[in-house]
Chain A
Amino acid sequence: MSDPASLMRERVQLYKDAARHKKTSRVLNVANMWNWIVYDSGYKLSEALFDYGKMEDALFKFQEKYQFDYYNDYGIRNPLRVQSALGHTDYIVNDEANALNIQDINYMEPEDYDDILENYFKFLWTKYMPRKYPQANSSESKAMMLNACQEFAQFGQYVGNINQQFVVKYGVPPALGFGTPAFVVFYEILFNFIRGIRGLSIDIRQRPEKVKAVCDALRTVSIGPGPTFAAFKAASQHGTDMNRGPDLFMVFLGHTILSKKQFEVYYWPYLKEVFDFTEQYDKILHIFAEGENSRLYDFYKEAPKGHVVIHLEMDDMFRAKKELGDTVCLCGGMPVDLLYHGTRQENIDYAKRLIDELAADGGFMFSQNKMVSYPNDCKAENLKAVNDFVRGYTL
């Protein structure tokens, strides 16, 4: 089975079966590979991030070399061209270190919670935009916004095209993160993009009722362009989509600063709504949960069995399997430290242990334990050896 259409069908079915906790013939290999793809291609980060042709070339070469089954991202996560049309981006591109750095941001004042409640897009337009893009807050704003609109349209074409190309050329389904309807609870928007880590940390202590009010009002929204979760749900039909792995995707990052009690307030009610939707509509949700999550397992155990896959970034996967494995399909496990510092054989041995102990009765997808970004996150020869092993290892 090697033609793209057959591979596509096999990969989709394997995803569904693993998520449903069915025993599969082999384990899927999910690429948690990010800027390291560009590093491995020989392009500078600044070249690939601003040239869709170069990003596409890097991705195609990468897939031909390593043959992953799924990707979290196809160079979509950082749309720097769109932002740069307005004269600013929060990201700092460091070609020497192959690093994309970001500092904590804050484009919101405490009194703005009421404005967000009144009209979120009005807040973004009248307050967020002038603060984040001061160069565009001038007599040139219309020309700059029209330029950003053109860049946004081109970005949309790139997103559609790269997802389609992976299906057609390689039989790899649309990206889990940015080729699938993707959502975050609104707390994440505040944390990552509007209020920032410091500002939000203060607010959940000094004005928790304001934070809770906007979280209750906005609930769960799209990452990037797209409908709210409520609108997505309203347009959904029963049954899982056989043209992709998961039906919807969520990413958790801001949960890393929350206690269990705070998670219950600012996160859980909205996550529970998504869990309930997956069961009611027979959908599959893929969660990328950054950081270490074990204090939140009591919530994750509430996931409806056969409907939720969680990619745990820094967790002890063997412990997670014991505590969550009855309900949640786990994804992850391969340590990037080993991928860089270990020998070829040490890497293969660890990959075998992960599959033997976590996938024997289904409910596991193989992946890297962290977002592989920097040169020291991985060695090409180790990644190639691990992927060759995982692809050929039958259960």
Chain B
Amino acid sequence: MTEQTLFTYPEGWNELLAALDFLPEEQRNGFLQGLLQTLLF
């Protein structure tokens, strides 16, 4: 049995967005996209 991870879409993506409660809701998607762009480096 594989472990449950967050890297599913849109379920895991939305789960992480919901957890970013230190940000206003309308900023969370852009924040997460910016993180992914940074993690490319």
Contact = CB atoms under 8 A, between A and B. Distances in A.
A137 B5 contact: yes
Given A142-B19, A149-B31, A82 B39 contact: yes
A79 B38 contact: yes
Given A142-B16, A152-B34, A224 B41 contact: yes
A125 B12 contact: yes
Contacts of A141: 5-7, 12
A238 B29 CA distance: 29
A86 interface: yes
B40 to A, nearest CB: 4
B38 A122 contact: no
B37 A222 contact: yes
Interface in B1-41: 3-9, 12-13, 15-16, 19-20, 22, 31-41
A192 B37 CA distance: 12
Contact of A225 (B8, B9, B35): B35
B5 A224 contact: no
Given A125-B12, A149-B31, A82 B38 contact: yes
A139 B22 CA distance: 23
Contact of A125 (B13, B19, B38, B40): B13
A36 B19 CA distance: 40
A225 B34 contact: yes
Given A82-B39, A148-B35, A155-B38, A125 B7 contact: yes
Contacts of A132: 39
A55 B15 CA distance: 35
A126 B9 contact: yes
Interface of A: 77-79, 82-83, 86, 119, 121-122, 124-126, 128-130, 132-133, 136-139, 141-142, 145-146, 148-149, 152-153, 155, 189, 192-194, 221-226
